[in-house]
């Protein structure tokens, strides 16, 4: 009995001396994510909440967004900008430029290619035992009742991401639905910007707060 007690005490001492590993989250995306890492951005707001709750030893958040990126850009820079950081979790928020640039510059991404590159990203991350979270693209214009030019494509690409989350055992953060629902309730003047975005795409303070809230819900970070 004495030996058993000593073994238990020894085990408890070893456990107490083992350093606790933070959960490192990398937010991987385009200019929305790049701006999200700045002051008042959604990643910064998540960090503030972690600090307020005293959870700095539990969670570490890192931004990995570059303006203008499409899904294949993420695939090409994944090794240096994500895997090299040894994350436990990666949150992918991409798709706006893949849709937007089809109309603005003719350099978007066709839906079938979008899906193939996205699958390649997921598989490469999961091969490293990284937990993957997928975000649907939010908005290109805030007009209600599907009156924005790219609403049809955004819905279609959002459905691709929803299906990929289901078939690849990823957690879905449905930002598109969150934005549509928020605008339905709060965009009383039916403006194309200014409720959640500054320019129909990039986030204003309310938009950053909404994204931070949805991200924390999905990730299980206490609010």
So what's the pLDDT on residue 110?
97
Asked if pLDDT for residue 96 goes beyond 70, the answer is yes
What are the pLDDT digits (tens) for 20-39? 689 999 999 999 999 999 99
What are the pLDDT digits (tens) for 110-168? 999 999 999 999 999 999 999 999 999 999 999 999 999 999 999 999 999 999 999 99
So what's the pLDDT on residue 106?
84
* More confident of the two residues 4 and 55: 55
What are the pLDDT digits (tens) for 5-22? 544 555 455 444 445 689
So what's the pLDDT on residue 12?
52
So what's the pLDDT on residue 19?
54
Domain ranges in the chain are 22-219
So what's the pLDDT on residue 105?
83
So what's the pLDDT on residue 3?
53
Q: Which CATH superfamily is domain 22-219 in?
A: SGNH hydrolase (3.40.50.1110)
Edge-to-edge order in the sheet of strand 131-135: 59-65, 23-29, 89-93, 131-135, 171-173
What's the average model confidence in pLDDT over 40-55? 98
- Give the pairing of strands 59-65 and 23-29: parallel
What's the average model confidence in pLDDT over 48-55? 97
So what's the pLDDT on residue 14?
47
So what's the pLDDT on residue 104?
78
Q: How far is CA 95 from CA 118, 124, 222, in A?
A: 10, 19, 28
So what's the pLDDT on residue 118?
98
Torsion sign across C-alpha atoms 49, 55, 57, 61: negative
What DSSP assignment string belongs to the chain? -HHHHHHHHHHHHHHHHSPPPPEEEEEEESHHHHHHTSTTSHHHHHHHHHHHTT-TTTEEEEEEE-TT--HHHHHHHHHHHTGGG--SEEEEE--HHHHHHHHHTS----HHHHHHHHHHHHHHHHTTT-EEEEE----S---STT-STTHHHHHHHHHHHHHHHHHTT-EEE-HHHHHHHHHHHH-TT--SSSSSBSSSSSB-HHHHHHHHHHHHHHHT---
Asked if pLDDT for residue 101 goes beyond 90, the answer is yes
Torsion sign across C-alpha atoms 114, 115, 121, 124: negative
So what's the pLDDT on residue 10?
52
What's the average model confidence in pLDDT over 188-194? 98
So what's the pLDDT on residue 9?
56
Asked if pLDDT for residue 76 goes beyond 80, the answer is yes
């Amino acid at each position: 009995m004495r030996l058993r007690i000593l073994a238990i005490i020894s085990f408890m001492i070893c456990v107490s001396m083992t350093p606790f590993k933070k959960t490192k989250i990398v937010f991987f995306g385009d200019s929305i994510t790049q701006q999200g890492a700045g002051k008042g951005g959604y990643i910064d707001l998540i960090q503030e909440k972690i600090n307020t709750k005293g959870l700095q030893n539990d969670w570490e958040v890192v931004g990995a967004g570059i303006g203008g990126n499409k899904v294949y850009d993420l695939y090409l820079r994944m090794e240096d900008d994500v895997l090299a950081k040894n994350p436990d979790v990666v949150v992918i928020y991409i798709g706006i430029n893949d849709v937007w640039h089809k109309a603005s510059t003719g350099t978007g991404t066709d839906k079938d290619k979008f899906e193939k590159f996205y699958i390649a990203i997921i598989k490469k991350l999961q091969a490293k035992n990284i937990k993957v979270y997928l975000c649907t693209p939010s908005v290109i214009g805030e007009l209600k009742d599907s009156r924005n030019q790219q609403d049809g494509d955004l819905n279609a690409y959002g459905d691709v991401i929803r299906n990929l989350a289901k078939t690849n055992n990823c957690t879905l953060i449905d930002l598109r639905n969150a934005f549509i629902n928020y605008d339905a309730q709060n965009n009383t003047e039916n403006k194309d910007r200014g409720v959640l975005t500054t320019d129909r795409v990039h986030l204003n303070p309310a938009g950053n707060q909404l994204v931070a809230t949805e991200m924390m819900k999905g990730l299980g970070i206490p609010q």
